Amino acid sequence: GSINTHYGKHALGDRARKLDQGILIVRFELPFNIWCTGCDNHIGQGVRYNAEKKRIGNYYSTPILQFRMRCHLCSNWIEIHTDPKNTQYVVVSGARKKVEEWNEEDTEVIKLQDEQVKEKLENDPMYRLEHGIADKKTLENATPHLTQLQNLNQSQWADPYTKSQQLRKRLREEKKRDKLAKEEADKVRDKHSLTIELLPQIPSDEIAAKTTSYASSELLDKKRLQTAVSSLFEKSESNKRDLSQIARIVLKKTKPNDSESIVASLADYGSDSE
């Protein structure tokens, strides 16, 4: 006998602890999204469980299998059966399947033949002949597109070594550009003591920066205006009283950040007052 027989153990180990009941412990992956009825939590497709696998019947010669597992979010038992007739899985208890509507065209997968079409193809020679003719027409319609794809693939990869060189060169250039951009961004961050990551510059940022006027420039123009006004009107006490009014008029008639036009306008007001 084998060493397992000598020590009284099964080759599958702990997975075979319920083998006398016809149950084998397997790793089962959820084939679709479900909602657990015990805790009402969503469990995504692809989540794996240690499930109890058991054969509970047959559909013709195909066995019907039962998978029982506990929800990992609660202690609720979930039971799923195979359905060979409809080639799918069925949630029997402990959960409900998430309904997701789709069709073959949206997912770009091959549409499988239903049972009626399969039966006609097997038993009806005329239908099988008509179906074969339709398949040939479908192939003829798809041949130009398939040929185009094949020619494109052959032209692109006629010389794999050259194509690989081009791709590697492009990758090196992209890495170099990314490195330079990161260095420039780090310089700006160090200069202004920024701790946030700077995004790449885009044309709209440059336009917005050029069209933005800051309060510091306006304050500088006001200071220049006050200096010019004090020199022009220092001899007239009555004009000093109207200083603020004249300044407001000049600022309205001149462009922002244009000190020369401001001084020229004040000179005109000064000559008129004398």
Q: How confident is the model at residue 241 (pLDDT cuts 50, 70, 90)?
A: very low
Mean pLDDT in residue range 93-99: 91
Residue 198 has pLDDT above 70, yes or no: yes
CA atoms of 128 and 130, how far apart (whole Å): 6
Per-residue b/e over 145-169, b at no fewer than 16 CB within 10 Å?
Answer: eeeeeeeeeeeeeeeeeeeeeeeee
Residues 6+ apart with CB under 8 A from 203: none
Q: What is the pLDDT of residue 55?
A: 94
Residues 6+ apart with CB under 8 A from 222: 247
Residue 232 has pLDDT above 60, yes or no: no
Residue 33 has pLDDT above 70, yes or no: yes
Q: How confident is the model at residue 227 (pLDDT cuts 50, 70, 90)?
A: low
How confident is the prediction for the chain on average, in pLDDT? Answer: 79
pTM for this model (two decimals): 0.41
User: Which has the closest alpha carbon to 31: 44, 42, 41, 45?
Assistant: 45
